[in-house]
Amino acid sequence: FMVNADGSLGQRNDVYCASIEEKLGIKASPTAVLVYGDDKGEVGPGAIGYLVGEENRGLEYMFIMMNAARYDVGLQGLGVSERAYQHAVAYARDRVQSRPVDGSAKESVAIIHHPDVKRMLLTMRALIEGERAMALVGAAAYDTAHHHPDAAVAKQAQAFYEFLVPLIKGFSTENSVEVTSLGVQVHGGMGFIEETGAAQYYRDSRILPIYEGTTAIQANDLVGRKTSRDGGALAKAIAAQIADTEGQLAARPSAAGQKLAKQLKAARESFLQVVDFVVANVKSNPNAVFAGSVPYLMLAGNLVSGWQMGRALMVAEDKLAAGEDVQFMAAKIATARFYGDHILARIASLRDTILEGGDSVSAMPLDAF
C-alpha cells in the first residue's frame, strides 16, 4: 500500500505475488515471484517505486549489502554443516553394525568405530573448523578495517577482508554440500529417509553455492578484482603471512607441528604457482584462467582455512601442555592433523587442474555437447 503524506495507508500499489516457488530445500523460507505492474493495464496501472539515496549510486549501495550477504551466506553454509555434523555424530554413536576390522570386539559395534565412518566425520569436522576460523579471521579484519585509528592499518585490513569474502562464501558453501552429503552417508539408508532429518540439511545446503552469486561469480571476483588487478600483490602478501606461520610450526617440538608446517608450505607454494599463472595469463589466455577459476577459489579457501588450523594447533598444544581443557585441545590437535593429511592434500590436485586443465576445456567444441 502507498503511504499518504500524513502517514496513513493509501491506495494499493501495483505489486502482486504471482506465485510461491516450489523448491528443493529451505521450504520454510518462501520465495515469491512479484509482479511490479506492467503499465499496460493488464495487471494494474504500474508500480510506483521510490529512490533510495542518491541517483546513479544504486549499484554502489547494493554492493555494501551484497558483500555483507555473501559473508552471511558463507556462515549459513557453516551453520547447516555444523548441524549435519552433530546429527551424524549422534547417529554414528547409536547405530550398531558390523564387527570392527581390528578384531577388538567379537560383537557388532557402533559404526563410529569403523575407520571409514571416522574419516567421514573428521572430514565434516575439519572442514567446519577450518571454515569457522577463516570466517572469524575475516570478521576481525572487518572490525579492524572499520575501527582502527591508523588509516594505513585499516586499509590493509579492508583489502584482506575483501580477499576473504569470496572464499568465505564460495568455499564454505561448496563444502556445505559435501558435508551435508557426508551426513546423509553416515546415516546409510536411513539418511535417505526423511524421518532422520539428515536429508533436509543436504537439500537446504544446495541453494547456498547459488544465491548471492554462484561460486563461479565469486571465483570471477577472486580472479579479477582480488588477484589480477594488483598483479597478485595482495595474494602474495597473504602467502607471506602463511609462511610466517609455517616457520612457527616448523620450530615446534611436536611431530604434528612440523608435519603441518611441511604440508602448509607445499600448499602455499601451489597457491603461489597458481597466482603467477592467473596474473600472467588472465589477459592473453582468459579462457584457460577462467576454466580454473572455481578450482582456484577452492584452493585458496582450503589454504586459508588450513593456515588457521595451523595457528589453532599451536594454541591447542600450549594449552594442552598447561592442562587446560584437555579433551577439547586434544581433539583440536587431532582435527588439525587430519586437515593437513586429508584436506590440504587436495591442493596439489587443484593446482594441477588449474595449471594444466584449461586446454582440455577449450578443446571441446560447443556443438559437441
Ligand X SMILES: Cc1cc2nc3c(=O)[nH]c(=O)nc-3n(C[C@H](O)[C@H](O)[C@H](O)COP(=O)(O)OP(=O)(O)OC[C@H]3O[C@@H](n4cnc5c(N)ncnc54)[C@H](O)[C@@H]3O)c2cc1C
Return residues touching ligand X (CB under 6 A).
23, 31, 207, 210-214, 216, 220
Closer residue to ligand X, CB minimum distance, 124 or 297: 297
Residue 290 vs 338, nearer CB to ligand X = 290
- d(Cα 71, Cα 145) in Å, to the nearest integer? 15
Q: Which is nearer to ligand X, 2 or 210 (CB)?
A: 210
| Residue 217 beta carbon to ligand X: minimum distance, rounded to whole angstroms | 6
* CA-angle at 246, arms to 231 and 264, nearest 5°: 75
For ligand X, the closer CB: 196 or 293: 293
Per-position DSSP letters for 285-324, written without gaps between them: -HHHHHHTHHHHHHHHHHHHHHHHHHHHHHHHHHHHHTTS
Indicate if 212 belongs to the active site: yes
Using CA atoms, how far residue 308 sits from 34, 136, 343, in Å, is 43, 10, 13
In sequence order, the 6+-apart residues with CB closer than 8 A to the CB of 246 are 261, 264, 265, 268, 310
Cα separation of 351 and 360, whole Å?
A: 15
Q: Give CA–CA dist 270/296, Å, rounded.
A: 10
Residue keyed to cell 516457488: 21
What's the closest the beta carbon of residue 24 comes to ligand X, in angstroms? 9
Shortest Å, Cβ 295 to ligand X? 13
Catalytic residue among 131, 174, 212, 246: 212
Q: How far is the CB of 346 from ligand X (least distance, A)?
A: 21
Residue closer to ligand X by CB (options 31, 97) is 31
Checking phi first, is residue 48 left (phi over 0); if not, alpha (psi -120 to 50) or beta? beta
Residue 240 C-beta: closest distance to ligand X, Å: 30
C-alpha cell at 250: 616448523
> Can you tell me the distance from the alpha carbon of 78 to that of 178, in angstroms, rounded to the nearest whole number?
12
| Active site members | 212
